[in-house]
Amino acid sequence: MGVRATGPEVPEGARIVVIGGANTDIAGASSAALRACDSNPGHIRVSAGGVGRNVAENLARLRTRVSLVTAFGGDEAGRALMAACRDAGIDVSASIVAEDLPGAQYLAILDERRDMALAVNDMRVLDLVTPDALAEPARAALLADAALLVVDTNVPAASLEWLAATVTAPIVLEPVSEAKAGRAAGILSRVAALTPNAAEAAVLLGHEVAGLEGALAAARELVALGAGAAFVTCGVAGTAWADATASGTTSAPRVAVANASGAGDAFCAGVAWALLAGRGVGDAARLGTSLASIALADEDTVSRRVTPEAVLAAEEELS
């Protein structure tokens, strides 16, 4: 079996299947400190987004074969989103199209530092990603052929449980948010890797996770609960990681932040890319951090500057 010439040595033809959210992102960034209950001058961007979709696009830009299983609305926004996925090199042939529902949308308000102040999401269409839908022959065949799965908690808890019980490929799980992280609590023993931030880890563990040392303890605790590996991100403080044999921390690079909303998705994609290539947990943390640093420095949620070479160059700067 051949290998790629750049980046981690990913087996030729290996496919990652991503199951999760795809939505239209509407991001409003304030030009000055946000004023509550007032109109804030700034600028607004509309782009393709969604945790699963963002992870899939990052992987496609890393020259990895990737399929996305999600649900698209039947409206104009849903059709445009599907076309954007195809244009990015993502296979969406196994996704669901709901003609009677609007496409998923995510509305975010960013402060003057380009960090998210609040967000509202309408993800009703993703409720259609049910166990019965995943078990349909074409999707079941795709899942059986996957070398690795990435799953986000935008899909129903029952679907997460079905995947954990049915699929034999390693699963990388992205908990998405504090509100949805709890959906993953029952399947930790089936997860090869888990990529929560500190707040999401706190939901999974039922206690506060404070600072990088707290994140390191949380990563070890998640592994003790059954996860193969855990990566707990702490923003500018860095990332804590652990598996059954090792644990440690990775520093966050200093970058001028243009948009923080896609960093976690980029980190997850970097971890999945590394694990597909058989790299260890520490390497996976560095590659995830390197990919996240590229995302942070770009106004786009998924940076067009992502390539294997760019990620390896960013990894060199961490050394």
CA angle at 290 for the pair 285 and 291, rounded to the nearest 5°: 100
Report the CATH number that the domain containing residue 130 is assigned in CATH: 3.40.1190.20
Is there a domain that residue 1 lies in? Answer: no
Residue-number span of the structural domain to which 242 is assigned? 19-32+41-318
Is there a domain that residue 6 lies in? Answer: no
Is there a domain that residue 61 lies in? Answer: yes
Q: How far apart are CA 88 and CA 48, in angstroms?
A: 10
What pLDDT does residue 178 have?
A: 95
What pLDDT does residue 299 have?
A: 83
Give the chain's domain count: 1
E strand residue ranges, 99-216 = 105-110, 116-122, 148-152, 171-174, 193-194
Asked whether 19 and 153 are in contact (CB, 8 A), the reply is no
Q: How far is CA 201 from the centre of its chain?
A: 15
Is there a domain that residue 12 lies in? Answer: no
Q: Which two tokens stand for residue 24?
A: 């239209």
Asked whether 216 and 242 are in contact (CB, 8 A), the reply is yes
What pLDDT does residue 256 have?
A: 86
What pLDDT does residue 257 have?
A: 85
Asked whether 103 and 163 are in contact (CB, 8 A), the reply is no
pLDDT tens series, the chain, 319 aa: 333 334 577 887 899 999 999 999 898 999 999 999 999 999 998 889 999 999 999 999 999 999 999 999 999 999 999 999 999 999 999 999 999 999 999 899 999 988 889 989 888 999 999 999 999 999 999 999 999 999 999 999 999 999 999 999 999 999 999 999 999 999 999 999 999 999 999 999 999 999 999 999 999 999 999 999 999 999 999 999 999 999 999 998 888 888 787 899 999 999 999 999 999 999 999 999 999 999 999 888 899 999 999 998 888 887 6
Is there a domain that residue 140 lies in? Answer: yes
Q: How far apart are CA 129 and CA 244, in angstroms?
A: 32
Condensed to tens digits (0 to 9), the pLDDT of residues 47-96 reads 899 999 999 999 999 999 999 999 999 999 999 999 999 999 999 999 99
Asked whether 224 and 260 are in contact (CB, 8 A), the reply is no
What does the radius of gyration of the chain's CA atoms come to, in whole angstroms? 18
Is there a domain that residue 212 lies in? Answer: yes
Show Cβ contacts of residue 192 under 8 Å, excluding neighbours closer than 6 positions.
148, 170, 171, 172, 227, 228, 229, 275
Is there a domain that residue 7 lies in? Answer: no
Asked whether 170 and 279 are in contact (CB, 8 A), the reply is no
Condensed to tens digits (0 to 9), the pLDDT of residues 174-199 reads 999 999 999 999 999 999 999 999 99
What pLDDT does residue 276 have?
A: 96
Is there a domain that residue 11 lies in? Answer: no
Exposure string of 11-24, with b = 16+ CB inside 10 Å and e = fewer, is eeebbbbbbbbbbb
